Amino acid sequence: MTNDFITDKLKAEFGEEIFDYQEHYDILTFTSDKELNLKILTFLKEDLELNFSFLNDLTAIHYPDNAGKELCVVYLLQNLQARKRIRLKVYTDIKKPDVYTASAIYSTANWLEREAYDFFGVNFVGHPNLIRIMNVDEMDYFPLRKEYPLEDQTRIDKDDEMFGR
């Protein structure tokens, strides 16, 4: 199974709804609107030739300078028989970070989506138990968003030698 074969199948099924095809380290990466994530994931899993039956990973990335598309949800799928991996990206607005849950399609999405919610604040619509998984419930922020300044380099109350500087 080649990346060209996968691209052709996706273009035949979805046309222009999938875009920004790229290839990094032999992993095909493509992007779509967040409203189509379930339709695309279902096709990738149920198509007998593609058979991307395993969700290896799901994570989020915060792009603070990308107005209207600040949060990116990344799905890493694998066809176990062909030993082929692909990556689907969908973007959402940080003010309304809603993305449909993939937990009904891939069981592994359940905990991975909870982790992405916990650290980035992505609201997975329809998730059966979207609660914090690693951080305390009292947290009123999402720690992996790039909303906080880096450490103040003018501080004089610590010894840099203790921190390997």
Domain ranges of the chain: 3-145
Confidence at residue 140, expressed as pLDDT on a 0 to 100 scale: 87
For Cα atoms 109, 114, 117, give the angle at the middle one, nearest 5 degrees.
Answer: 120
- Dihedral angle at the C-alpha atoms of 37, 11, 21, 47, nearest 10 degrees? 60
Q: Which amino acid is at 41?
A: L
> Within the chain, which residues score under 70 in pLDDT?
149-153, 155-160, 162-165
Q: Which residues lie below 8 Å from residue 76, measured CB to CB, with a gap of 6+?
A: 27, 55, 56, 57, 58, 85, 86, 87
Confidence at residue 153, expressed as pLDDT on a 0 to 100 scale: 67
- Dihedral angle at the C-alpha atoms of 153, 140, 91, 106, nearest 10 degrees? 120
Confidence at residue 158, expressed as pLDDT on a 0 to 100 scale: 67
Confidence at residue 147, expressed as pLDDT on a 0 to 100 scale: 83
Fold adopted by 3-145: Beta Polymerase; domain 2 (3.30.460)
Q: How far apart are CA 100 and CA 122, in angstroms?
A: 10
What are the tokens at 148?
């906080």
Query: From start to end of 34-141, where are the E strands?
Result: 54-62, 71-79, 84-92, 98-100, 123-125
Burial class (CB in 10 A: 0-12, 13-18, 19+), 39: middle
pTM of the model: 0.87
